[in-house]
Structure 1
Amino acid sequence: MAIRRQPDSPTGMTVPAHPRRTAAIAFILVTALLDVMSMGIVIPVLPQLIEQLSGSIAAAGLWNGLFVALWAGMQFLCSPVIGSLSDRYGRRPVILVSIAGLALDYVLMALAPNLWWLALGRILAGVTSSSFTSAFAYMADITPPEGRAKGYGLIGAAFSAGFVAGPLIGGVLGEVSLRAPFWAAAALSGLAFLYGLVVLPESLTPDKRMAFSWTRANPFGALRLLRSHPELSSLAVVNFLLYFAHHLFSAVFVLYAGARYGWGAWEVGALLALVGILDMGVQGMLVGPVVKRLGDGPTMVIGLAFGAIGIGAMGLAPTGWLFVAAMLPNALWGLAMPTIQSLMTRRVSESEQGQLQGANNSVGAIAGILSPLFFGAVYSASVGGNPFFPHIGTAFLMAALVLASAALLGWRAGRHATPQLDSGAAGH
């Protein structure tokens, strides 16, 4: 799909057929990489900085939990607003303003004299990182429907690369100073802003834009879009289940790995880096060829099914080496996310792509709040002197059931698929 310059475009910057579209895709990927690197850089030091400012380990645990909830809550509230603003004013200004805001936010956290400043920084980070909704909508604007899964796979690969490189850089800088990673994160976000200011053209032409409405922009209004079509609703539930299962790792992986296999920080860090590398390979290189051969729907189901197999094997693995081996089938889980996104973008008009991505991000935020609470409770009930669940890997087995349910629902949605909305449809 080649978007050509409209004569009445106020910016004069829309994406033409090839060279600048290639530059635009490169920008989205580089920005995703830099943004996720900037987030990942602070992961190794943020809990330590919280402990330093709070004065105790116990208080640090409470504050860290609060900061996670604040970030996810702001994602839930602001993602639909950001997405709807990009439907109204275009993707370019929303993306650039969000990136600039993220750079300033990291400066704020680098200078934070107390926990309240740091809390404000986490709130702003939740708001500004909602720009990912506009990045996904941008990719939908500049790629044909049959190429979107590959495009989203490339974004996913960029995310994975950022999550591999970010914590490694943050760990090294954290040895110098707890504040140094925040300054580095601010510099990376600033670099992404300057790069976009020069390179990024607008992707959404004026005739495809939709008037801003708080009815659609609030998270509950945005979620109504997901109920506008039976298959879209089913895919939204699949998306929620995928996010829900994925947060198992942030909730219990470190504790589980230490308790069952005796792994310390080095082993856990190395394994997370390996997860990122495998995910890069799947999303960056496998998604396109598999979708071309099988189509979006079957590829999504295969990804979810292998994710269920892999994560179930992790919960049953009696040794660390078998756990690592289970990561190989689990890596194919990466086929699911880009294809779900691609299928969903085909069911809404071009003027609703930002709203759709905002709604999807809100769904992910809800899962991000509920899932750690659920899997944390399951893990707690699986360990100790007299555990309620007799097997320490019960949380992994439950996550496998969640993914298997998602695969079944996705398969049923594919069987009852209706004709897709034409990519050039006007907003409705």
Structure 2
Amino acid sequence: MERHDMTSPTETSMWRQPRPVWAVAFASVIAFMGIGLVDPILKPIADELGASPSQVSLLFTSYMAVMGAAMLVTGAVSSRIGAKRTLLTGLAIIIVGSALAGTQDGVTGIVAFRAVWGLGNALFVATALATIVRSARGSTAQAIILFEAALGVGIATGPLIGGLLGELSWRGPFFGVAGLMVLALVLTTVMLPPTPPAAKPTSLADPFRALKHRGLLTVAITAMLYNFGFFTLLAFTPFPLGLGAIQIGLIFFGWGLMLAFSSVFVAPRLQHRFGTLPSIWAAMTMFAVILAVMALFTTSKPTLIVGVVLAGFALGINNTLITEAVMKAAPVERGVASAAYSFVRFSGGAVAPWLAGKLGEEVSAHVPFWVGSGAVVLAMVVLYAGRTALAHLDREESVEDERLDEAMALSLTD
């Protein structure tokens, strides 16, 4: 990885980054708002448009399904037109998709334009991660933590903005994101220098070839299964809670804050003390237990609220460490690894919301949380089964990288 300065480890901080990195990070915050933005308005949309929970949950399913499938082409597009043009194209598509979703009068139209939004997000997110890792000062781990911090802030503020604007109208959050994305588009245009196409364009088959590496496939399937629990929590919990848009927004704002905190401040500490895989297992165990408790006490609003917020803590640790594992799991380009991994993991995010809604409608409100908890346990089993292919994760960094990471972890508590 290219390094942009040769300062000592104690002088190096992941917060001292070039302007282009901050431009992409800011745009990432806005992009990730889209994940939780619709959470507070799921019930209002269902009530106003006469839709069932499973129908409304398709807002997540169409978004995640298209984003996962489109991940397969992100590397091919970016390598041919350059990272900057790919980022700008993704942002422009998100603007169109979110704005048109807000103009619809039926769930089908909203679902369709959420799919368009997912296409834009795919082009943006995979390219943004690779761009930040390539351009940031410091180690790969620091760059990933910076990216996960942007993800956490976006996920945290998405429900809050969705709740505030959703109190006015369920259309408000869609138009709000479109406006923020225009700002992100302008900043990216101005602050990110032109990036030429790759000398060797990425093939559409490269992500599939990358998945032949057992380590990468193990991490991808693990993420797919734990995302099943993630999006069950995100898409279904508002229905048994039965609260207004602003209340749901505040609850998931707390969830996002915990996610951002643990991804930046807790994950690196755990990794340095216990190692990557043990820390991931611990985080997933916590998440599985939380979902199981929510399954047992689904009728208790306080239990659901506390469960949602605590789940953010576990998910933040998991997100950071799994993303870093992806970057190191296989000897392939980072953009290709990110695309292959995202294609697999988002399939879990696509199925879970719809299935949770169906199970909640036709079986019991407790069942979706049990299924989510079981999926997370299965993720732990898959990761354990593939552990030998990932044994190199904590040995791969150079001495310099280890010192940089250590300095960063220590500086977080200063």
Please tell me the TM-score bracket, short chain as reference.
0.7 to 0.9
CA deviation string 1:33-54 (max 9, x = no partner): 12233665565558767987xx
Find runs of 4+ consecutive structure 1 residues off by over 6 angstroms: 17-20, 49-52, 60-63, 113-117, 420-424
Pick aligned residue for 1:137 from 96, 114, 130: 130
Aligned counterpart, 1:403: 376
Aligned counterpart, 1:234: 218
Aligned counterpart, 1:306: 286
Pick aligned residue for 2:349 from 350, 359, 368: 368
How far apart, CA to CA, are the structure 2 residues paired with 1:112 and 1:396? 31
Aligned counterpart, 1:27: 23
Amino acid of the residue matched to residue 248 of structure 1?
Answer: T
CA deviation string 1:320-371 (max 9, x = no partner): 4444454575322321122112112113446x32222222222233112322
The alpha-carbon distance between structure 1 residues 126 and 319, as it changes in their structure 2 partners (threshold 3 A), is closer
The alpha-carbon distance between structure 1 residues 22 and 399, as it changes in their structure 2 partners (threshold 3 A), is same
CA deviation string 1:154-200 (max 9, x = no partner): 43333333233333334433455555444332221111111112222
The alpha-carbon distance between structure 1 residues 50 and 103, as it changes in their structure 2 partners (threshold 3 A), is farther
How far apart, CA to CA, are the structure 2 residues paired with 1:337 and 1:275? 14
CA deviation string 1:33-81 (max 9, x = no partner): 12233665565558767987xxx514x8786455544323321321211
The alpha-carbon distance between structure 1 residues 294 and 310, as it changes in their structure 2 partners (threshold 3 A), is same
Q: CA contact under 8 A between 1:170 and 1:181: conserved in structure 2?
A: yes
The alpha-carbon distance between structure 1 residues 393 and 41, as it changes in their structure 2 partners (threshold 3 A), is closer
How far apart, CA to CA, are the structure 2 residues paired with 1:50 and 1:291? 42
* 1:315 matches 2:295: yes
Range with greater deviation from structure 2 (39-48 or 98-107)? 39-48
The alpha-carbon distance between structure 1 residues 347 and 322, as it changes in their structure 2 partners (threshold 3 A), is closer
Aligned counterpart, 1:86: 78
Q: CA contact under 8 A between 1:38 and 1:184: conserved in structure 2?
A: no
SS in structure 2 at match of 1:346: helix
- Shift in Å at residue 279 of structure 1? 1.0
Pick aligned residue for 1:225 from 210, 214, 218: 210
How far apart, CA to CA, are the structure 2 residues paired with 1:163 and 1:19? 20
How far apart, CA to CA, are the structure 1 residues paired with 2:95 and 2:269? 36
Range with greater deviation from structure 2 (71-80 or 410-419)? 410-419
How far apart, CA to CA, are the structure 1 residues paired with 2:257 and 2:339? 27
* 1:344 matches 2:326: yes
Aligned counterpart, 1:13: none
How far apart, CA to CA, are the structure 1 residues paired with 2:227 and 2:375? 10
Amino acid of the residue matched to residue 226 of structure 2?
Answer: L
* 1:210 matches 2:206: no
The alpha-carbon distance between structure 1 residues 151 and 92, as it changes in their structure 2 partners (threshold 3 A), is same
Amino acid of the residue matched to residue 215 of structure 1?
Answer: A
Scaled by the length of structure 1, the TM-score of the pair is 0.75
Amino acid of the residue matched to residue 232 of structure 1?
Answer: L
* 1:173 matches 2:165: yes
The alpha-carbon distance between structure 1 residues 209 and 141, as it changes in their structure 2 partners (threshold 3 A), is farther
SS in structure 1 at match of 2:240: helix
Segments of 5+ residues of structure 1 without an aligned counterpart are 6-16, 217-221, 384-391
CA deviation string 1:210-258 (max 9, x = no partner): 3243334xxxxx34421x2222222121111111121212343123334
**Structure showing greater Rg:** 1
Q: CA contact under 8 A between 2:262 and 2:314: conserved in structure 1?
A: yes
How far apart, CA to CA, are the structure 2 residues paired with 1:242 and 1:353? 22
Aligned counterpart, 2:408: none
Pick aligned residue for 1:190 from 173, 182, 186: 182
The alpha-carbon distance between structure 1 residues 41 and 367, as it changes in their structure 2 partners (threshold 3 A), is closer
Q: Identity rate of aligned residues, in percent?
A: 20
Amino acid of the residue matched to residue 336 of structure 2?
Answer: Q
Q: CA contact under 8 A between 1:150 and 1:338: conserved in structure 2?
A: no
* 1:284 matches 2:264: yes
Q: CA contact under 8 A between 1:28 and 1:155: conserved in structure 2?
A: no
SS in structure 2 at match of 1:2: coil
Q: What is the root-mean-square deviation of aligned Cα atoms in Å? A: 3.8
Range with greater deviation from structure 2 (353-362 or 272-281)? 353-362
- Shift in Å at residue 129 of structure 1? 1.0
SS in structure 1 at match of 2:205: helix
The alpha-carbon distance between structure 1 residues 244 and 20, as it changes in their structure 2 partners (threshold 3 A), is same
How far apart, CA to CA, are the structure 2 residues paired with 1:96 and 1:324? 37
SS in structure 1 at match of 2:201: coil
Scaled by the length of structure 2, the TM-score of the pair is 0.77
Pick aligned residue for 1:100 from 86, 92, 97: 92
The alpha-carbon distance between structure 1 residues 90 and 416, as it changes in their structure 2 partners (threshold 3 A), is same
* 1:126 matches 2:107: no
Aligned counterpart, 2:233: 249
The alpha-carbon distance between structure 1 residues 377 and 147, as it changes in their structure 2 partners (threshold 3 A), is farther
Amino acid of the residue matched to residue 2 of structure 2?
Answer: A
How far apart, CA to CA, are the structure 2 residues paired with 1:371 and 1:61? 13
